[in-house]
Amino acid sequence: MEKITISRQADRLERAGWIQRSDHAEDARAYHLQLTARAERIITRLDERAARLRRDYLRGIPSARRNALLDDLTVIKTNLLGFDPKPRGKIP
31 domain residue, yes or no: yes
Domain count along the chain: 1
> Cα(1)–Cα(8) distance, rounded to whole angstroms?
11
Domain-embedded: residue 92: no
Q: Give CA angle at 3 (14, 39), nearest 5°.
A: 25
> One digit per residue, pLDDT tens: the chain, 92 residues?
566 688 889 999 999 999 999 988 888 888 899 999 999 999 999 999 999 999 999 999 999 999 999 999 999 999 999 988 776 766 66
Residue 90 lies in a domain: no
CATH number of the domain residue 53 falls in:
1.10.10.10
89 located within any domain = no
The boundaries of the domain holding residue 25 are 3-81
Is residue 57, in this structure, part of any structural domain at all? Answer: yes
pTM (global) more than 0.85: no
